Amino acid sequence: MTFIQVNSHKYGRLSEECSQLLMFFQLEAIVVEMQDPKNGVKNSVQKLNVTTIPHAAAGNDIIAWINTKMKTTVEEAQVFGTMLVAYGYIYPLKNHNKLVMCNDSSLYRFQTPYFWPTQKWVPEDSDYAIYLAKRNIRKKGQLEPYEQTHYNHLHEWLNHKWEFIVMQATEQYKAGRDRNKPDRVIFDCQERAYWMVNRPPHRTHSALDCGPERLIDPNTEERISFDQYRRVNVFYQQAIMRSKVKSSVSLGALVKYITTYKNHDPFLAPCQPSNPWQTDHDAYWTLNMRRVEAPTKMRVERWSFSLFELLTDLRGRDDFKIFLKKEFSGENLAFWEAAEELKWGTASSMSTKAETIFKTFLAPGAPRWINIDGRTMGLTVKGLEHPHRYVLEAAQTHVFLLMKKDTFFRYLKSPTYKEIQKKALSPETHSFRLVFFTNGN
Please give the Cα distance from 224 to 206 (Å, whole number). Answer: 22
**Residue 20: predicted pLDDT:** 62
2 pLDDT above the threshold of 60:
no
Average pLDDT over residues 273-284: 82
Nearest C-alpha neighbor of 295 from the set 319, 323, 268: 319
- Neighbouring residues of 172: CB distance < 8 A, sequence distance ≥ 6: 130, 134
87 pLDDT above the threshold of 60:
yes
**Residue 433: predicted pLDDT:** 62
Nearest C-alpha neighbor of 160 from the set 135, 131, 196, 125: 125
Confidence bin at 319 (pLDDT 50/70/90)? very high
Q: State percent of the chain over pLDDT 70.
A: 86
**Residue 203: predicted pLDDT:** 63
pLDDT tens digit sequence for 349-404: 888 999 999 999 998 888 999 988 888 898 888 888 888 888 999 999 999 999 99
1 pLDDT above the threshold of 50:
no
Please give the Cα distance from 32 to 29 (Å, whole number). Answer: 5
Residue 359 DSSP label: I
pLDDT tens digit sequence for 43-64: 888 877 667 778 888 888 999 9
State the pairing for strand pair 90-92/107-110. Answer: antiparallel
309 pLDDT above the threshold of 50:
yes
**Residue 341: predicted pLDDT:** 92
